[in-house]
Amino acid sequence: MATEQELRSLFNTLDSDQDGKVSINELFLSPGLSAVILAETNTSSPQALLAQYDSDEDGNITFEELKQVVEKASNLT
């Protein structure tokens, strides 16, 4: 389980271009960190994460989208 602060830190590390979004490329470029995100969200791959939780369908995951996923998975403390 992650705290919101830990989740924010992971998100910021994955967001290598600091545009406020994590792209599929950024997820693949950091396999260790993306594995943590995938475990926290109960998804099986970066593609599944985007397909299921990219609510505005822009091809990226924002922090708020990720936070909602982790909350739904009951992994946010």
pLDDT tens per residue across span 38-73: 788 888 888 888 888 898 999 999 999 888 888 887
CATH number where 20 lies: 1.10.238.10
The whole domain housing 41 covers: 4-72
Is 62 inside a domain boundary? Answer: yes
SS3 readout for the chain: CECHHHHHHHHHHHCCCCCCEEEHHHHHHCHHHHHHHHHHHCCCCHHHHHHHHCCCCCCEEEHHHHHHHHHHCCCEC
Is 66 inside a domain boundary? Answer: yes
Is 77 inside a domain boundary? Answer: no
Is 65 inside a domain boundary? Answer: yes
Is 14 inside a domain boundary? Answer: yes
The whole model's pTM is what?
0.78
Number of domain units in the chain: 1
Is 67 inside a domain boundary? Answer: yes
How far apart CA 39 and CA 45 sit, in angstroms, is: 10
8-28: pLDDT as tens digits: 998 999 899 999 999 988 888
